[in-house]
Structure 1
Amino acid sequence: MGREASIDKSRGDAPLKPGKRVYAIGDVHGCDKQLKKLLKRIRKDLEGYEGKSHLVFLGDYIDRGPDSRGVIDRLIAGGLPGDKQHFLIGNHEVAMLQAFEGKALGWLAYGGIETLESYGVDKKALFAHPSIKKLLKAHLPPEHLEFFQSLKHSKRIGDYLFVHAGIRPGVPLEKQKERDLVWIRDDFLKSKKDHGVTVVHGHTITSKPQVKKNRIAVDTGCYATGTLTAVRLEGNAVDFITS
């Protein structure tokens, strides 16, 4: 872990009050081995810390990587570091839930195949089967479906707003559309507006985590690079931990 940057303090007080620490993990995408390593490092980092700690997952737990089922098994098993855990929804979970309702056949094209394989669906049978909806209902454990359906679109802690993709610039936080929170890209990434909070997000892959005046990006493309990243926030300090 190394010091990367500090948040601009022009708004006044530190984004987090003393005695509070937050870790936010970027897009996992079925990379259970890297998730295991990263959680171990976060747990180690928390040793001796006496304040309150939060662990935030920024969504996209499934698709593309080799073990989506293993990731969900790990998350619902409990015993995760931090006093409180918060699980946000990503666009890949949205697409999977739509496929579960028979509404998003395109899900297979950007990672759904790997997810179904991790749940024991044979690839040959997958393309021969007439209904992705029926395959999901037959192979997705009830507790996994419950987890996906419980995911939230955002979490605010202090002056940080955690979302999967970003927010619509110029729109009040309470009026943001759920679709933007999980899908937005260029309009948010190119914006230099002060959003009133620092937005912590994944969704858009960068070679290394980024710290801007109005946002922090932590999706380092684990399924392609082997690197899963978490941002560690405390007071004004911004640090990163990787798998």
Structure 2
Amino acid sequence: MNDLDVLSVDNCDVYIRDHHILTDVSFRTLRGTITALVGHNGAGKSTLMKAIIGSQEKSAGRISVAGIDQDDQFSFYKPQFSYIPEEPLLMSELTVYQHFQLYQKSYNIPDDSFKQRVDQYTEAFELTDKLDEYPESLSKGMRQKAQTICALLPEVPLLLIDEPFMGLDVYAGAYLERLLADRKNDGTSILLTTHQLDKVRELADEFVMLKEGAVSSSGAVEQFHELDRRHT
């Protein structure tokens, strides 16, 4: 690992029951870059994301973020990233604002920074009047916006996003694109999955392509235009 590596995935295998889902997956993401994780449905993208966040057990391999090993130092590893899942994972007993407070406590966000970010993001995502609402009273799009804000509140080395624009309206999606560009410019490493190939070319600096659970190709996004016609 060099000083620019943020996420390091080395020789990772994942079995689910008797099925070999990921095979010898290795790649790096660099500080201040956006890496697109691409491939057909069933290629293993979501399983890889789950392995990185620690909700899916690996059968082999190592994963580290900012030099912190997932297996050896998980309590220090976990605060190094935040995650936006494809489907919102909100708790029914907490209001929108209480979800934000939970993230503040989990990532030790100072009060002043927390208030500024909550005000900024809730206004931009049009959630200001939903802070006291519970998830079941919100539309899926509103729940996705709340989940997105949760992940954006902490400043972390790595931001993981599974299908970032699913459920977001055009305006919210455009705002998220600007935020991702800002985070990248501030040095955050971003790994995202998306089926929107135009977004890969617009947003990403690098790509990693999975095919049948293995890395079939990777490199600068400029190389992706030719590859996507053959493989995706």
TM-score w.r.t. the length of structure 2 is 0.30
Structure richer in strand, relative to its length: 2
Structure richer in helix, relative to its length: 2
TM-score w.r.t. the length of structure 1 is 0.29
